[in-house]
Structure 1
Amino acid sequence: MRGIVEGFEGNYVIIEIDGETRDVDRSAVKFDVEVGDCVIFQEGTWVVDSKATEERARHMKKLMEDVWND
């Protein structure tokens, strides 16, 4: 399962999974996860997918550049 971290609320991490947001208990998410990270569920824990996060950041940057250059 894959998702994108949308934010943090109290003891929960909000993760978008397949277009829907879910509140996931912080104990099920690795401590180094940040807002905007792509995450993958492995062995009972949500961990950062570094490659997917970097690709997403590049894609978002390109989108922003395209908007400002129009």
Structure 2
Amino acid sequence: MKGIVDRFEGDYVVIEVNGETQDVEKVKVASGVTTGDVVELIDGIWTKDVEGTEKRSAEIKKLMDSVWED
């Protein structure tokens, strides 16, 4: 299962999975995960998907560049 980290709230991380948000305890999220990261649930721990995060960042940059084109 994959998701996107939406935000951190106290002892929880809000992760969007299939368009719905889930509150996940911070202890179930790997260290180093930040807002906007693509994460994958592996053995009960949400771990950063480096490739997925880089791909998502590139797609967002491309969209932003097209919006701000002169």
State TM-score, norm by structure 1: 0.97
Where structure 1 has 5 or more consecutive residues not aligned to the other structure, the ranges are: none
Amino acid at match of 1:43: D
Q: How many residues align?
A: 70
Where structure 2 has 5 or more consecutive residues not aligned to the other structure, the ranges are: none
Runs (4+) off by over 2 Å: none
RMSD: 0.7
Which residue number in structure 1 is paired with residue 38 of structure 2? 38
Which residue number in structure 1 is paired with residue 6 of structure 2? 6
Which residue number in structure 2 is paired with residue 63 of structure 1? 63
State TM-score, norm by structure 2: 0.97
Tell me how far 1:31 sits from its aligned partner. Answer: 1.1
Percent same amino acid among aligned pairs? 49
Which residue number in structure 2 is paired with residue 53 of structure 1? 53
